[in-house]
Amino acid sequence: MAKILSKIKFPRIHQIKLTNFSLYSSSPVISIKIPDGVFCLTGANGLGKSTLLSAIHFGLTGIVPHSGEKFLSVEEYYSDNLDFSRNFFNGRITEDDHDLADISLSITIGNFKYELTRGMFEPKELRYLKIEDSLEKENIFDSESSKMSPEMVHNEYVKNIVLHTGLESFSQMVFLYSFIFTFDERRHLLFWDQKVCEQALHLAFGIDPAEAQRADLLRREMERAGSLARNANWDATQVRNQINDLKRNINETLKGEDPRDIRQKYDKLIEEEENKDREVERIELEVKDAMLKLSELSAKEANLRVSYNDEFNNKLKKQYRLKLHPLIVSSRNDGKCGLCGSTGEKSVKEILDLENATSCPICKSVIAETKEDPKIIEKLKKTDEDLVKTRKESEMVLKTIARLNSELDKAKAEANKAREKINEFENANKKALSDLNKKRSSGEDIDAVLEKYRLQMEEYLEKKRKYYEKRDEKQKALNRVQKELEKQYFSAEGSFVPLFKDLAFEFLGLDLDVKLALKGSGINLTLEVKGKARRQYHQLSESQRFFVDIALRMALAQYISDSDSKASLFIDTPEGSLDVAYESRAGDMFAKFIMKGFDILMTANINSSRMIRTLAEKCGKKKMEICRMTSWAELSEVQVAEEKLFEQVYAEIEKALNSKGK
């Protein structure tokens, strides 16, 4: 008899605040209230919609999902992704804002209210954290009164999140948000990634999250044991080859005193050095790029200065009036010609007439009075803005170069250290080899050397056997957990599968089915359309795959969530290349999920997609809010020129939102 699964409580996000987030250059502080239902962030291409979802993800977990990171285990995914996440906002946030930029979130998990602030480059630190129990009216934690370091505050957050969600570890929360509740530009699909799917199933249908963690560990241990067994086998083969070589060329020089140890140690040192060198190369490339950028900006600034000077002088030229010339002024005041000294009424009259002259009395150039041309001012203003902007960009790049140079010095020192280690090792190895050769040339202990190799080979073979035993043992343990999961799944199938079928039908209009498949390598979910398994990629169109996978995530979210604290989905521009009928159906599917009391934070391009309009019609203003990003960052010239088109689309969405209930 399967045990009853305890549900998991998930954070509900109520408020987001971004400070000094330079990507959104027009708005240094962005504060957003997240309503119930759909929060849809819209904006033209390139404004940073996806980055906002990444920032929220980072605020919540300290991690930004990384498409290049291969999933090995829940724990490793979290720890291996920290460096990527730490650097993710480089380039999106300027040097000036590097230490200032942060994200604040206000979330609730059941009756626990969290307020937290995380620096955009601090995945394992929190600048602020306050946790309250709103039921007991009790203050659980407040970083301001705790005097803890930001790392300790983060640890406090992790501890409480695990406690309040009911998960076994914070890594599980990272996993769930990275792979189940987020559908982003990675376009990662659960149905077609067995390892990820299996872990998701353990978390969703296992007896408790500790079992999921156990399965995760067992799988990794099993894989490691298999890998170590293969290594030991390889080592044994190497030693066997050594013995054969030694036998064949008994009089030749022995290569290496202890082939396995030397090879492993030496390879490790070489790998270390290569890693350090790669780091130096990476930073050098970054410096080179920054220098190139600086020279481009300097050239641009110099050109702009010349233009500014020309335009400024052009402006002054238009202001020139002959009557203001000091010579005319003094001639008029003194009543005599300032050039030749002639006096008298006639001379003075001639000079006064000159005041209205339209050409220069000396070179005859036209100097007709003209009013200041607003176009000249406009042009000057534009050049002026570009000039100041370019100079600021240069200052920023200079700061980046200074930072990179300091990083480069450190990286070079580390690379030198790694090289020294190799030299030391090579020297030490030479000595060992020389000792062995001495023994061999004096005819001493050849049999002993051979015996030593034989023993070593046996040792490796024994290791191989033990590792395979260990692998099989872990495999058996994993199979037991998987069997248990299978039982749990079967008991849950009756309530879970309809959730999925319902959503998927809404989208595809076909009767889909999902089944658990236990294979030698693990557990997976298979999809059946009209009774035929569609495990292979090519059997569904790309866009169909996206939405069927989203349906699976929604079903999992519904199944796994505690009714008091439901999971929210993060969906980044999902439309793909659906035709208009499927777009509309995708909107229906999302609406269905929302009507069950779940939330979606999504982004969408401003286009003629039916999906958003259908969703708006179904949800209405009570359950959907459109947030326009246009005021956050500068629009491109094309976007400014086509603003009317955006307005039309917004008007259509607005109309759809208002149509609910009419």
Q: Is 321 in the site for another protein (CB under 8 A)?
A: yes
Q: Is the dihedral of CA 596, 600, 606, 611 positive or negative?
A: negative
Choice from 68, 326, 443, 520 touching another protein (CB under 8 A): 326
Q: Is 385 in the site for another protein (CB under 8 A)?
A: yes
β-pair type (599-605, 522-529): unpaired
Q: H or E stretch including 41?
A: strand 38-43
Asked if 123 and 174 touch (Cβ cutoff 8 Å), the reply is: no
Please identify, among the stretches 317-325, 431-439, 445-453, 543-551, the one whose residues bind another protein according to the rule CB under 8 A: 317-325
Sheet holding 128-133, edge to edge: 29-33, 12-19, 102-109, 112-119, 128-133, 138-142
Question: 382-397: b or e for each residue (b if 16 or more CB lie within 10 Å)?
Answer: ebeebbeebbebbebb
Write a three-state SS string for 354-398. Answer: HCCCCECCCCCCECCCCCCCHHHHHHHHHHHHHHHHHHHHHHHHH
In the bound state with another protein, the residue whose beta carbon lies nearer, of 329 and 581, is 329
Q: Is 634 in the site for another protein (CB under 8 A)?
A: no
Q: Is 312 in the site for another protein (CB under 8 A)?
A: yes
Closest approach of another protein to the CB of residue 387, in Å: 6
Q: Is 343 in the site for another protein (CB under 8 A)?
A: no
Per-residue binding letters, 269-308, with another protein (x by CB under 8 A): ---------------------------------------x
In the bound state with another protein, the residue whose beta carbon lies nearer, of 95 and 384, is 384
In the bound state with another protein, the residue whose beta carbon lies nearer, of 376 and 529, is 376
Please identify, among the stretches 72-80, 323-331, 436-444, 563-571, the one whose residues bind another protein according to the rule CB under 8 A: 323-331
Give me 400's structure tokens: 């980046």
Choice from 14, 293, 391, 463 touching another protein (CB under 8 A): 391
Give me 642's structure tokens: 């086509």
Q: Is 330 in the site for another protein (CB under 8 A)?
A: no
Choice from 324, 339, 455, 580 touching another protein (CB under 8 A): 324
Choice from 257, 384, 473, 652 touching another protein (CB under 8 A): 384
Please identify, among the stretches 179-187, 318-326, 347-355, 640-648, the one whose residues bind another protein according to the rule CB under 8 A: 318-326
Q: How far is CA 337 from CA 324, 342, 353, 523, 571, in A?
A: 15, 5, 13, 106, 83
Please identify, among the stretches 259-267, 283-291, 319-327, 641-649, the one whose residues bind another protein according to the rule CB under 8 A: 319-327
Choice from 145, 251, 313, 442 touching another protein (CB under 8 A): 313
Treating both helix axes as pointing N-terminal to C-terminal, what angle do 194-205 and 209-248 enclose, rounded to 10 degrees? 150
Neighbours of 350 (CB within 10 A): 14
| 152 vs 160: CA distance, rounded Å | 12
Long-range contacts of 448-456 (CB under 8 A, 24+ apart): 449/246, 449/254, 450/243, 450/246, 450/247, 453/239, 453/242, 453/243, 453/246, 454/243, 456/239, 456/258, 456/260
Q: Is 387 in the site for another protein (CB under 8 A)?
A: yes
- The closest of 216, 190, 180 to 525, measured between CA atoms, is 190
Tokens 């998987």, residue located: 482
Q: Count the site residues for another protein by CB under 8 A.
A: 19
Choice from 282, 381, 454, 515 touching another protein (CB under 8 A): 381
Closest approach of another protein to the CB of residue 324, in Å: 4
Q: Is 309 in the site for another protein (CB under 8 A)?
A: yes
In the bound state with another protein, the residue whose beta carbon lies nearer, of 309 and 434, is 309
Q: Is 334 in the site for another protein (CB under 8 A)?
A: no
Tokens 């059946």, residue located: 528
CA 380 to chain centre: 40
Choice from 325, 332, 419, 463 touching another protein (CB under 8 A): 325
In the bound state with another protein, the residue whose beta carbon lies nearer, of 399 and 660, is 399
In the bound state with another protein, the residue whose beta carbon lies nearer, of 68 and 326, is 326
Choice from 4, 388, 428, 641 touching another protein (CB under 8 A): 388
Q: Is 402 in the site for another protein (CB under 8 A)?
A: no
Neighbours of 160 (CB within 10 A): 17
Long-range contacts of 491-494 (CB under 8 A, 24+ apart): 491/2, 492/2, 492/5, 492/205, 492/559
Per-residue binding letters, 350-379, with another protein (x by CB under 8 A): ---------------------------x--
Closest approach of another protein to the CB of residue 289, in Å: 23
Q: Is 314 in the site for another protein (CB under 8 A)?
A: no
Asked if 573 and 49 touch (Cβ cutoff 8 Å), the reply is: yes
Q: Is 320 in the site for another protein (CB under 8 A)?
A: yes
- The closest of 360, 358, 292 to 327, measured between CA atoms, is 360
Closest approach of another protein to the CB of residue 388, in Å: 4
Residues 6+ apart with CB under 8 A from 558: 499, 566, 593, 596, 598
Please identify, among the stretches 24-32, 136-144, 385-393, 626-634, the one whose residues bind another protein according to the rule CB under 8 A: 385-393
Chain contacts with another protein (rule: CB under 8 A): 308-309, 312-313, 316, 319-321, 324-326, 377, 380-381, 384-385, 387-388, 391
